[in-house]
Amino acid sequence: MYSHQCLGTNSFPDVDFYHNQSPSRSPSRAHNTNAYQQSPSRVRNTGHGLANSSYAPAPILHSSTTFSAGHTPARSVSPEPWEAATSEFQVPAYRHEMPVFHYESQFSVNSVHDSQRDTGPWVYNPEDERDARGPGKRQASRSSRAAVALHGAGAEGMEDAAGDSSTTRKMKPRTAEQKLRMAESAATRRANDKNHLSIIKGMLPPLAYGQEYNNRTALAGAIARFNEDEETIRALEQECSGLRHRMGEIEQELVSEKDQKGHLITQRDGSLIQCANAEASLENAKAAVAYHIAEHEKTKAALVNREAAYRSLEMAVSNHETGYSHTKARLAHEKAEHQNTKAALANTQAELTNAEAELSCHRADSRTTHATLQRTEEELRALRQRCGTTW
């Protein structure tokens, strides 16, 4: 069971074609099916190139009979099918150039030796028999030899189709200009392939553990991107409609503000006139206030004089009040003395009344005594008259 069958992923339909190859495949690269460790294969030039990109396909220099049913290659040109992981993105082939023998991928496993180091671009130089990217002599892999054999088989097929079997068509040695042009095109193709692979991997969805890039994941990523784009478009349409509505409201506000501006200008002119009148009134009021301040100063001076006179009057009144208090105290003292005198007079009058009463009593007693004395004298006289003869 293959890796994509074990992982349950929907791989490229022709992945079994790549796996069911002859054992001439490089054993060190036989189990390399990771999408990040696959070299770009050279697929058939469909004449369309990448969709919606400036990556135009190269012209096909061979006849279409090269790819006829009887001359279909037994295996792919490149030993590692990275197209099996991303079948929607097919890089057009360059059939007018030699395949892997002249081109080695810069972003995956080397097709010549097992080193995975990124040692920089390798420029084609047929005179140089030493591989600049690896140690030792340059040894083309069996897959490269098979690709070259397939290329020769295609050329023989073209000769058979042309009906020229008398002579064998051999490849002419390339000129220096052709070699330079091939090296430049190979370098350009390497850079473009690297850029396009980074773009493709950026467009693919993030995978879970153990998944591969295939039709299903690529379609899921495309659907997710379409949904995101639709959501973005819908949000932008809503925002645009809101902005249009807001712009209409703002235009209405601008019209109303323009109408209000005329009224405000009229009000401003009236306010300016009122301000001028108010300034004139303010100047008059300032003059009146200055006049009133002068009058106030005069009144203040008069009040100061009146206050001095009032203070002198207060002093005189206080002096009079002091004299009045003294006089009042003296009168109170005299009144007290008068009361004492009156009391003494009342006492004297009472004593006099008592003395008169006693005198009247004494007079009554005297009258009684006198009456008694007269009676006694009369009795004595009577007694003398009786006893006169005896004395």
User: How far apart are the C-alpha atoms of 88 and 47, rounded to whole Å?
Assistant: 15
Average pLDDT over residues 135-152: 47
Give residue 208's Cα distance to chain centre: 36
Q: What is the pLDDT of residues 212-245, one digit of tens each?
A: 767 777 777 778 888 989 999 999 999 999 999 9
Average pLDDT over residues 201-213: 72
Q: Quote the tokens at residue 180.
A: 């330079």
> How many CB atoms neighbour CB 75 within 10 A?
18
pTM of the entire predicted model: 0.23
Which pLDDT score is estimated for 389? 58
Torsions phi, psi for 235 (to 5 deg): -65, -40
Q: What is the pLDDT of residues 279-328, one digit of tens each?
A: 999 999 999 999 999 999 999 999 999 899 999 999 999 998 999 999 99
Residue 118 pLDDT grade (very low, low, confident, very high; cuts 50, 70, 90): low
Q: Is the dihedral of CA 380, 382, 387, 389 positive or negative?
A: positive
123, burial (CB in 10 Å: exposed 0-12, middle 13-18, buried 19+): middle
Q: What is the pLDDT of residues 178-197, one digit of tens each?
A: 999 999 999 998 888 888 87
CA separation, residue 222 to residues 174, 191, 210, 227, 363 (Å): 44, 25, 20, 8, 167
Domain positions in the chain are: 3-213
Average pLDDT over residues 112-118: 51
Which pLDDT score is estimated for 377? 86
337, pLDDT greater than 70: yes
Average pLDDT over residues 188-212: 79
Which pLDDT score is estimated for 246? 93
Q: What is the pLDDT of residues 24-68, one digit of tens each?
A: 444 444 444 444 444 444 444 444 444 444 444 444 444 444 444
Q: Is the dihedral of CA 151, 153, 159, 161 positive or negative?
A: negative
- Residues 82 and 38: beta-carbon distance below 8 Å: yes
Average pLDDT over residues 132-141: 45
- Establish how many alpha carbons lie within 13 A of residue 4's alpha carbon, considering only the half-sphere containing its beta carbon: 22
Average pLDDT over residues 155-173: 61
Which pLDDT score is estimated for 142? 45
270 or 386, which is more confident: 270
- Residues 79 and 99: beta-carbon distance below 8 Å: no
